[in-house]
Amino acid sequence: MRLDDTTLYKNGLYPYFAVVFSIITILNILSILYYFFNLYVTFRVKHFKTNIQILHQAIYATCPFTSIFIIIDGVANILGKRDFNLPFALNFFRTVMSCPPLFALVAIMLERIFATYYIKDYERERRPIIGYSIILLLIVMSIGTAFIFSYPELVIVFVVCHLSLNVICYVVSLITYRINRKYYYNNRERKHSYSLGERYQISENIRLYKFFSHYLFVLAVFPISCTIFALIDHIDSNPIHREILAILFDLSYTL
């Protein structure tokens, strides 16, 4: 249970929370605008052909929906309409839309595994079925998560599983990077041991890992932060604490 309007005004907390709600709302408006700008650039440069690009766009496409819900919450909080509640179906949809970014590390890890396994012809054979299959997996995981959050007693189970999954995915991503780096150095020691296409794919795998290294860290840290905030919110019954945790969750997700 979060703070009601009366408690906010009585404790003199409303001005402080209103500022925070306003900041979160503005950040999410900017996030939506940036998404459409990014989408425009993507179509202009046709950056949606490879599996990693397809996955990136599919995951990113869910963010504006969540931002809209966060904006609705922020406006309702600022206007003092804190008793405003969305219908169950919309809340369920909101949870489903919020989940793909939380599992983004899983998606990227799986795609990089396939890129490493099919190193001989991954550059030539796009195999879009891989990208779309991973997207389908993300959808299934998101729907499953939405169902789990419908049952509060299962939240702790989800938190444990999600944290473990993120750690495993991060470790596996490091392993695939080291495998590709080993391929790369083997090729340098033994000239022409790999075909031109294989050498390109090895370099591409390493380049993508280095490019996504900071991104992977973000994908590991922020989803874990969101999950931890959700867990504490589930355990802690103090209204002020839960209000702060809800704000931290929104900020972590937005960032």
pLDDT along the chain (255 residues), means of 10: 50 70 85 86 78 84 85 76 70 85 85 83 79 92 87 79 83 82 66 62 66 59 66 63 66 65
pLDDT at 1: 43
| Cα–Cα distance measured from residue 50 to residue 83, given in angstroms and rounded to the nearest whole number | 45
SS3 79: coil
The b/e string for 226-235 (b: 16+ C-beta within 10 A; e otherwise) is: bbbbbbbbbe
pLDDT at 155: 76
Structure token pair of residue 88: 């169950």
pLDDT at 3: 47
CATH number of the domain where residue 123 is located: 1.20.1070.10
Q: What is each CA distance from 139 to 55, 105, 133, 203, 216, in whole angstroms?
A: 12, 14, 10, 31, 20
pTM above 0.85, yes or no: no
Q: Show the beta-strand stretches assigned E in the chain.
A: none
Domain that holds residue 221: 5-254
Q: Tell the residue number behind the tokens 């600022």, with chain if given.
A: 78
Domain count, the chain: 1
* Maximum C-alpha span of the chain: 75
What tens digit of pLDDT does each residue of 125-156 get? 778 898 899 999 999 999 998 888 888 777 77
pLDDT at 134: 93
